[in-house]
Structure 1
Amino acid sequence: MQATLTMHALAAAFHSNTHVPVSSTVLKDPEHSTVIPSAATAARAKDVRPGSDEEETTTTTITTTTIITTMQSPVPCQLNLTRPEGYIEAPPQSSSAFHSTMDCSYIITVYMGYGVEVQVMNVNLSEGDKVAFEDVGHRENTMLANESILMRGLVVRSHSNQISIRFHSPRSQAGSVLLRYQAFVLSCVFPQRPLYGDVSVSSLHSGGEAFFSCLTGYQLQGPSVLTCRNASTPYWSGKEPHCLAACGGIIRNVTVGRIVSPGFPSNYSNNLTCHWVLEAPEGQKLHIHFEKVALAEDDDRLLIKNGNSIDAAVLYDSYEVEYLPNEGLLSTSRHLFIELTTDATGTSTGIAIRYQAFAAGHCYEPFVKYGNLTSSDNTWAVGAVVEFACDPGYTLEQGSVTIECMDPNNPQWNETEPACRAVCSGEITDSAGVVLSPNWPEAYDKGQDCIWGIHVEEDKRIMLDIQVLNVGKNDLLTFYDGDDLTAKVLGQYGGSKSRFKLYTSTADITIQFQSDPATNVYGYGNGFVVHFFEVARNDTCPELPEISNGWKSTSHPELVQGTVVTYQCYPGYQVVGAELLMCQWDLTWSGDLPSCERVVSCADPGKVEHSRRVLSGPHFIVGSSIQYICDKGFTLSGNSLLTCFNRGSSGPMWNQKLPRCLPETFEPCSHPGTPNYGIPSSNKLHFQAGETLHYSCLTGHQLLGDPVLHCVPGHPSQWSGLPPVCKAHPAEYDGHRLDVSTAHLRMEGVQVAFATFIPVTLLLIIIIGIYLHFSKAQRKPQQLSLSSNVPYENITGESTFDSSVYETTETREYEVSI
């Protein structure tokens, strides 16, 4: 009975032209009076994998309930999903057939601290379909992806706990998208490391902590610990701190530390007055090392006093001492007072002072900048022996390699600690090392000319790794492939350049650095760092492996410089990467190894000039098509529709060649004629389609009509209008009317005279002919009465006429007969 009712209801609906929405109507529960929107039911259906029993049961319920209820206006496919995972099919199949356009919106919301990860399982879009993924958990929505990049396997991740997916189609037969979503744990972004400091993180997830610290000599400004807090988008509990060099302060219970001027290693500011007080534990003394002292040559000043006040005795005064003591300074008490003052004019790098406290009966801990040391006693007691070494690229200067702590009554080192500096020039025979610009990492001096020579074993070569190059534009760093400056130049550089490598062809290389005498390069980190390594001699590039589903061919049996290796793929596969690899002069290949991947779509066939094309989809997959439509004025030569099909082992290909759009040909227009008193711009007989013809009038005449005619293309081609008319100006027409009338009357008189004279003449000729004929027949004298009055004696034997018509009677008769 219910089935019969269903069929009657459907038939009545269709006969009355009423649309019957299947899943978009308002549903009623047969057992309860509660109204249930079908969208909610659809949401429950989409939260499980398509094809499951739950989905099938729900769909059946929707269909049955919809048929037996009163039909109402359709509800849009707008769903709010809150499960941690599920599937979305956009648009729902049950709704797509009942709307001229389709607009669907899906909002997925998960718990705080989690994000939404959406994977495209299948995509089949029609022309005009739009899909947009937006992160809506922030104050401002963020676009994550759209239909232009939509492809199977694409994964889209939100940055918050809420994501919106919108589907729009302008047609009823819309495409479809199948998506799978799931929640994932969000995390805070890694905090920014403070300048002159460091940061370590226990976890980036909610509850994790970030710990900040500063380098020696800098103080932390801000929180030392930040916590990752849970929210729609996790965030740190505060802003990252900064590490700043303080202008003065009291440092108690000193062990080992460092004092730097504000802004170090950059320049300090003007008008500073900084006071530092160092206080060692009871019974200990203080020792300081000068790492850096660079003051402006004006009134900037550094004072170090043996006490804890400004009135203590002076140990060091930059006004009076030209050179820094390499051994540093010792206090006689547990305090040191340090004062830095700057004026209002120039600035410079400033100061960097290392300090330490040491107990009685011990020497202070030695220190060497840009080097390291080893000691027989790490307590630095009397008898301790220390040996120094410099970091690669630095040279030991101004001191002894080995020192010893002596004198039990007043422990002190028997020699001054050495200094490690990056020097200008040198000869190096190590198998590996570093060449640094002078004074690195400090700025080099202007007007320098430095030469370094690097030598390895004869059967070896040298590889140079230029890691830092930041010199002035007028400064030059030159590499010579040999043991002197006459060798071939490997490269010459100035200014800044990113990291690169060079290889020598010999066992020696010469490096020359020349700084401009007027250079303006100042500051920390300006210069160069060149690492060098001894490498085995090799005149060929390394062997390249074969690739799967393809093969390679070489231009030379040995992989010497300039050899080209060509990679090709089997039918149905395409090369991903560079097809051609060349062995470069530095014996490295010009690119990475390519691969062969199966072709799953046709290549873009390109565009046709003077046409537009219509695509069946965003990608050229098998089965997709392209239709070419020529612009107006052009005709298509070839097939307008190209379809991508799979040719088996050969892979997907287009079924037709690319068509062409040729200019359309039209018949010419004939000359339309010239009006009276008119002048055409051309008198040629035929005009091609698109050409124009201009008209003008003689002086005293006015042109009436269109002065320009166009040859309109067509079959046949036609003029755009009739030729114009040239009419005399009204004033001149009235002035000449009388003359025209008189001339007309005279012409009429002439015409009347001619009309009368000609018939009379013809009649006379006929009468004379008849008369002569009858006279001859009667043998009468053939003389006219007209000539009888002429005296005979005046008649001569010669004719007085040029014409022979009057010579004889016979001749006159002949002429008359004619």
Structure 2
Amino acid sequence: MALKNSPDHQHLNLTSASQVEVDKRATTTSTTITTTTITIMQTSEPCSLNFTDPEGNIEILQQPDSGVECNYLVTVYLGYGIEVQVSARGSLLFEDTGGREPSILANESVLMRGLVLRSWSNQISIRFRSDHQPNSGSLLLHYQAFVLSCAFPKEPAGGEVSVTHLHAGGEAFFHCFTGYRLHGPKMLTCRNATTPYWSGKEPRCVASCGGMIKNATYGRIVSPGFPGNYSNNLTCHWVLEAPEGHRLHVHFEKVALAEDDDRLMIKNGNNIDSPPVYDSYEVEYLPNEGVFSTGRYLFIEFTTDGTITSTGAAIRYEAFAKGMCYEPFVKYGNFSSSDSTYSVGAVVEFSCDPGYTLEQGSVVIECVDAQNPQWNETEPACRAVCSGEITDSAGVVLSPNWPEAYDKGQDCIWGIHVEEDKRIMLDIQVLRVGKNDLLTFYDGDDLTANIMGQYSGTKPHFKLYTSMADVTIQFQSDPATNIYGYNNGFVVHFFEVPRNDTCSELPEIANGWKSTSHPDLIHGTVITYQCYPGYELVGSEILMCQWDLTWSGDVPRCEEVMTCQDPGNVEHSRKVITGSRFTVGSTVQYICNKGYTLSGSSLLTCYNRDSNTPKWSERLPKCVRKSDKSDSHTKTHAHTHTEPDISFMYSCILNYFVKLNIPLNRARIMVSTLCITTFALLLFSIYCIELFFLYYVETQGQNLAFLHLFVSCFCRNDHVHSDDEKNVSQI
């Protein structure tokens, strides 16, 4: 978007259609005309049209010829502006043309559906150029007039302003506080024009050189030119008259006179011959308690010579009734009171503005002595001090004596400390120091830390950010000269802010915990997540803080474990699994290969033990080679069974025998082998699967029948079975 300002126009606000905002300096209302006239323009010919209705629609179509430029001028009544809403995007330029020079409101780079533009005058121009680009095309606009207004007038220092309204015909009234006189018009009028304006320049409130102040209850008197320097050869007299039955008290805000014949005197009476209660010639320091009148009057005299000048004086006065204490005052601070009339027994507590420190006097004072009411302690003073340690999360650091001039030859150090996981944003709002003065910011808690910035002279508003939870500020003023005065120095606001060099804090997880490789979560920090027993981690166990300050993955979670671990394989065996993923209730059965015997339980069941991790019901078995069975309880006995013309070799383990039943039938041969315990012959401790086949061989005139038999048996947990292959050698 391109923006241009002319002397007659102010900056335009761009807002969304749902919330229209008006620049406070330009307008304060959004009153619209209720009359509605719809104007629709559709043409493919070269175009240059004017619109004068208070409301309307403009539809702009793409032209058939490239390079054709369309101009649309919208003009409404004086005192009204024009609000345009974009209903469909296009490629064009808006200009406010009501002033001496056109001011660009928006171009195609910011146009979007719903965009609202507001002019500062009663006329706008819309230019559309046909170029047949992909982003070109039709555009639908809706406009309506709204009431313009004058900017709010500037309030004068030492005075105030009140306004009837800001539209054309509105009036602004200016008033100065006691001790000041108005320099300029008392009233301004908002005039109607393409852009409404005030009838004149805002007035100033200038400190008076003397005067009679009747019914003086509360106010302030300053020397002419304050807070700047006063003029030469002045003689100013003020007479303060309190209400009947009241006395006067004066607080000294500031007295800075040239070291020659310039003089400030306060006298207890209403004329120049009254006795003095304060004379700048006679005292080196200002009285902290101020001065009092014995009656209704005080006479103040301020005189200067024709040589050097200075800032001058500022005093504050207040009237108080008999039997009461005077109203307290603390410059650059506040106070609270238990009694707004400040009668005997009233308690007042003081506090300072940010950047200032309470010095001298007491934080809490009390009105005492019914016969002669007075405060029991001197009121404190709030001053911007040189150096300090600050642990607040937000605040301000001021140059010494701010806004008064700092002294020459100063070396001040401030330390600001926030929480370890936070950082500090420094907002340097004022920096006006001498070219030989030095303001340095250290990124740490002492002067050996890295220097963030070092400045002299004048610099506009800027900001700094620390990489630590501490910052050290050092100010060194030139010991030779100090040419700077009021409102010169520095004002540094500070705020605790989140770290900008670390990853965000990751949460703890339910039913688990995390461990961190570095407490500050800097680049490269690794966080490891683990789960409590009975739970398993779902997601990444390790997350790393990456260079873009994001974590390498999402935070995992711990879910209750409902499965057993894979029990693994048994050498020389195969396993049969029921269920999926070894869930609770599933089984695993191991079957040894031929020539091996099972040692242990063949069947394992997954079950849950209360809240602990699910376990297998038995330990993993083993498959042992038969020849390795040397123990007396597992030794194998071999036997020979012989039938006529048939010979079998068979064997069973100790305490078992083999029972054979072989019906010799060439059509069908059945072989049954059964191992039965010798201690409980009727109780089967094993079941067998028998496979056999019969074939005939004719040799040497004999018919031989061969029976090949395979036996696979499954024993109970407390038995071991030996498999044998038996051959029928001859039938």
TM-score under structure 2 normalisation?
Answer: 0.55
Structure 1 residues 10-409: aligned runs within 5 Å: 48-50=39-41, 81-87=51-57, 108-118=74-84, 133=95, 135-136=97-98, 140=100, 142=102, 144=104, 157-163=118-124, 180-199=142-161, 203-206=165-168, 208-210=170-172, 212=174, 214=176, 217-223=179-185, 226-409=188-371
Q: Which protein has greater RCO, CA pairs closer than 8 Å, 6+ apart?
A: 2
Query: Is the CA contact 1:445–1:515 (under 8 Å) kept in the aligned structure 2?
Result: yes
**Is 1:434–1:532's contact at 8 Å kept on the other side of the alignment?**
yes
CA-CA distance at 1:542 after TM superposition: 4.3
Distance 1:358 1:540, change over 3 A: same
1:225-280 superposed Cα distances (whole Å, 9 cap, x missing partner): 54534444333344322222222222111111111122221222223222222111
Q: Is the 8 A contact 1:135 1:158 kept in 2?
A: no
Q: 1:489 to 1:366 in 2, by over 3 A?
A: same
Tell me the residue number matched to 1:540: 502
Is 397-406 or 295-304 further displaced after alignment? 397-406
Q: Aligned partners of 1:229 and 1:90: how far apart in 2?
A: 36
Cα separation, partners in 2 of 1:197 and 1:523, compared to 1, 3 Å = farther
CA-to-aligned-CA distance 1:199-229 (integer Å, 9 cap, x gap): 5656433455545455675444445554534
Indicate the residue corresponding to 1:694 in structure 2.
Answer: none
Q: Contact 2:105–2:119 at 8 Å: present in 1 too?
A: no
Cα deviation per residue 1:425-477 (whole Å; 9 max; x = unaligned)?
334455654433211221110001223345567x5656252434332232223
Q: In structure 1, what is the equivalent of residue 31 of structure 2?
A: none
Residues 151 and 216 (structure 1 numbering): CA distance in 2 closer, same or farther, change over 3 Å? same
Partner of 2:571: none
How far does residue 117 in structure 1 lie from its aligned partner after superposition? 3.7
SS in structure 1 at match of 2:121? coil
* Residue 305 (structure 1) shift: 1.6
Q: Secondary structure at the match of 1:501?
A: strand
> Identity of paired residues, percent?
69
Cross-structure match for 1:805:
none
Inter-CA distance 532–84: structure 2 relative to 1 (3 Å threshold): closer
Q: Could you tell me whether the CA contact under 8 Å between 1:123 and 1:150 is conserved in 2? A: no
- The structural deviation recorded for 1:539 is 6.0
Q: Name the structure 2 match of 1:442.
A: 404
Instruction: Tell whether 2:437 aligns with 1:467.
Output: no
CA distance in 2, matches of 1:527, 1:200: 33
Equivalent position SS for 2:232: coil
- Quick one: distance in 2 between partners of 1:183 and 1:48? 14
Equivalent position of 1:65 in the other structure: none
Question: 1:443 and 1:561, CA in 2 relative to 1: closer, same or farther beyond 3 A?
Answer: farther
Counterpart of 1:293 in 2: which secondary structure? Answer: strand
**Structure-1 separation of matches of 2:447 and 2:48:** 77
Aligned length: 479
Distance 2:501 2:94 in 1: 55
**Does the C-alpha gap of structure 1 residues 320 and 562 become closer, same or farther in structure 2, counting only changes over 3 Å?**
farther
Q: Compared with structure 1, are the counterparts of its residues 286 and 158 closer, same or farther at alpha carbon in structure 2 (3 Å cutoff)? A: same
Q: Residue type of the partner of 1:82? A: T
SS at match of 2:358: strand
**381-390 vs 113-122, greater mean Cα deviation:** 113-122
* 1:505 alignment partner AA: M
Inter-partner Cα distance in structure 1 for 2:183 and 2:234: 20
Structure of larger gyration radius: 1
Is the partner of 2:225 in helix, strand or coil? coil
Question: Counterpart of 1:505?
Answer: 468
Please tell me whether the aligned partners of residues 462 and 532 of structure 1 are also in contact (alpha carbons under 8 angstroms).
no
Structure 1 residue 356: deviation in Å? 0.6
Distance 2:476 2:243 in 1: 50
Q: 1:256 to 1:50 in 2, by over 3 A?
A: same
Query: Which runs of 5 or more structure 1 residues have no equivalent in the other structure?
Result: 1-45, 60-75, 170-174, 545-557, 564-581, 589-818
* Structure number having the greater strand percentage: 2
**Superposition map of 1:678-689 within 5 A:** none
Instruction: Return the letter of the residue paired with 1:284.
Output: H
Determine which structure has the larger helix proportion and give its number: 1
**What amino acid maps onto 1:48 in structure 2?**
T
CA RMSD of aligned residues (A): 4.6
The answer for the alignment partner of 1:30 in structure 2 is none
Superposition deviation, residue 310 in structure 1: 2.0
Question: Which deviations, in whole Å up to 9, do the C-alpha atoms of 1:303-348 show, x marking residues without a partner?
Answer: 2122222222222221222111111110112111112222222221
Q: Which runs of 5+ in 2 are unaligned?
A: 1-36, 131-136, 507-519, 526-545, 551-731
SS in 2 for 1:496: coil
CA contact (8 A) 1:471 1:521 kept: no
Tell me if the contact between 2:425 and 2:466 (Cα under 8 Å) persists in the aligned partners.
Answer: yes
Moved more, 476-485 or 405-414: 476-485
The alpha-carbon distance between structure 1 residues 504 and 91, as it changes in their structure 2 partners (threshold 3 A), is: closer
